[in-house]
């Protein structure tokens, strides 16, 4: 950013906020920082960086906010917060770190969002680009904060995974290629409605040079003459699935690319993720053999439909990253075996109708646990055998008691984890440890 702004106030001092403070100071800006938590992450580091007199923890200092030239809002802070809104009324500009990245980046970047699958697609797209000999840095909502990526002067291209929270404060992003993978009810505890959430997601396309869309969806219908992907047969240079006597193929137009049984991702959602990544990186692929090898070697992310154990013909799958109804529905629909479903935690809002329909078709047993277990029990108990567990440990034990040869035990909580765990990673790690302990017990 140009050094023509006198005062930045960074609100929220987690991973993103800390990266913003460091970046702005390196640009010789005056920076103040605040957080509503009494002892937030990076507290001591930021005090040393900006000086104790320029730090406010335990509350939002309204005077600092209203006197700021620019507020840089961390994704975890709602822009509708009263103190932020009052500063906006005083004419203060509110940005996110993604806006600063977009302003200062000198290299092209791909932007990916969606309710589900964005981490998988961002990671796979990164691997495909690397297979083409490109120096790629990926981050934002996934991995490194966006501003940390700018430290690498040798980079050829960036890959950004963006959440609705990040897009909500981003006005100037202009990616070379953008995609909205899907939109289902998520974060309605923060966004006012599904329509508002949809509009925020779709804003990623506003200044994009090229648009990639999921075919035959509300997203895809919003545009003409764009690159699309879907599970049906593709037209022209779009991406989809073709079938012939030799099997089922990922295809670009009428050209077969890769047999669908050669990928490590599970189910329909796995196929869609591969198609999205290929469509997203299409303009940068010079060597298709290398690109397709990267796609076939990609085995997915931890805690995203990850096979933990397959013993006695019983599969145990960790989909702890499935924190909303859409993700869990996709996971269920991607498994072609009888399912014992473990779900629960903190429901983030939205209808359970799609979950009920998926459960009715593919799930033989549901085990609910966590803060909102009663909500899920009442929604599902009339359609499938549903049991209540007191903990994730108890849920795994119940699943072990009910599982038979040919079954899949699926942890896909459809909920946030914060009632019992620090994050979905901790929840997934606990599940995996419990499954392996269960294996040892069964083996005795």
Q: Which residues are catalytic?
A: 118, 141, 187
DSSP element (H, E) containing 257: strand 255-259
CA distance 348 to 365: 23
CA distance 61 to 57: 9
- Is 13 strand, coil or helix? coil
Contacts of 182 (CB under 8 A, 6+ apart): 114, 115, 116, 117, 214, 217, 219, 326
- Is 326 strand, coil or helix? helix
CA distance 8 to 232: 49
Contact (Cβ atoms closer than 8 angstroms) between residue 234 and residue 240: yes
The stretches of 286-372 forming alpha helices (DSSP H) are 288-297, 325-333, 353-362
CA distance 369 to 172: 42
CA distance 208 to 210: 5
Return the number of other C-beta atoms located less than 10 Å from residue 6's C-beta. 11
What is the token pair recorded at 12?
């929220």
Contact (Cβ atoms closer than 8 angstroms) between residue 186 and residue 324: yes
Contact (Cβ atoms closer than 8 angstroms) between residue 23 and residue 150: yes
Contact (Cβ atoms closer than 8 angstroms) between residue 72 and residue 139: no
Return the number of other C-beta atoms located less than 10 Å from residue 194's C-beta. 16
Return the number of other C-beta atoms located less than 10 Å from residue 395's C-beta. 27
Please list the residues that pair with 144 across neighbouring strands: 139
Contact (Cβ atoms closer than 8 angstroms) between residue 173 and residue 207: yes
CA distance 315 to 338: 10
């Amino acid at each position: 950013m140009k050094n023509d702004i006198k005062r930045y106030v960074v609100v929220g001092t987690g991973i993103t906020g800390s990266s913003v403070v460091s970046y702005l100071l390196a640009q010789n800006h005056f920076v103040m920082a605040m957080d509503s938590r009494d002892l937030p992450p990076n507290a001591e580091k930021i005090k040393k960086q900006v000086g104790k007199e320029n730090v406010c923890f335990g509350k939002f200092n309204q005077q600092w906010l209203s006197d700021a030239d620019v507020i840089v809002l961390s994704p975890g802070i709602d822009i509708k917060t009263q103190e932020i809104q009052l500063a906006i009324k005083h004419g203060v500009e509110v940005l996110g770190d993604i806006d600063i990245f977009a302003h200062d980046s000198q290299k092209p970047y791909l932007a990916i969002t969606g309710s589900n699958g964005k981490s998988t697609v961002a990671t796979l797209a990164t691997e495909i680009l690397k297979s083409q000999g490109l120096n790629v840095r990926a981050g934002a909502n996934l991995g490194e904060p966006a501003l940390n990526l700018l430290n690498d002067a040798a980079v050829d291209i960036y890959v950004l995974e963006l959440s609705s929270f990040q897009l909500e404060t981003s006005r100037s992003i202009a990616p070379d290629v953008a995609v909205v993978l899907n939109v289902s009810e998520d974060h309605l505890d923060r966004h006012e409605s599904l329509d508002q959430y949809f509009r925020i997601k779709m804003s990623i396309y506003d200044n994009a040079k090229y648009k990639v869309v999921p075919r035959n969806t509300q997203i895809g219908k919003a545009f003409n003459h764009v690159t699309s992907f879907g599970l049906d047969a593709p037209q022209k240079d779009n991406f989809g699935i073709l079938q012939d006597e030799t099997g089922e193929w990922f295809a670009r137009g009428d050209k077969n690319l890769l047999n669908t049984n050669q990928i490590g991702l599970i189910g329909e959602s796995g196929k869609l993720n591969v198609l999205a990544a290929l469509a997203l990186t299409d303009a940068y692929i010079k060597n298709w053999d290398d690109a397709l090898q990267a796609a076939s070697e990609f085995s997915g992310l931890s805690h995203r439909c990850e096979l933990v154990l397959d013993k006695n013909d019983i599969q145990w799958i960790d989909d702890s990253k499935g924190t909303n109804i859409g993700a869990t529905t996709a996971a269920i629909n991607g498994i072609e075996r009888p399912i014992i479903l473990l779900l629960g935690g903190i429901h983030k809002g939205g209808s359970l109708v799609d979950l009920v329909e998926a459960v009715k078709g593919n799930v033989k047993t549901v085990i609910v646990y966590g803060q909102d277990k009663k909500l899920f029990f009442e929604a599902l108990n009339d359609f499938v055998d549903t049991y209540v567990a007191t903990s994730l440990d108890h849920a795994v034990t119940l699943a072990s008691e009910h599982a038979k040869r040919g079954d899949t035990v699926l942890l896909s909580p459809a909920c946030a984890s914060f009632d019992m765990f620090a994050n979905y990673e901790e929840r997934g790690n606990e599940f995996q440890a419990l499954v392996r302990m269960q294996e040892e017990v069964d083996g005795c």
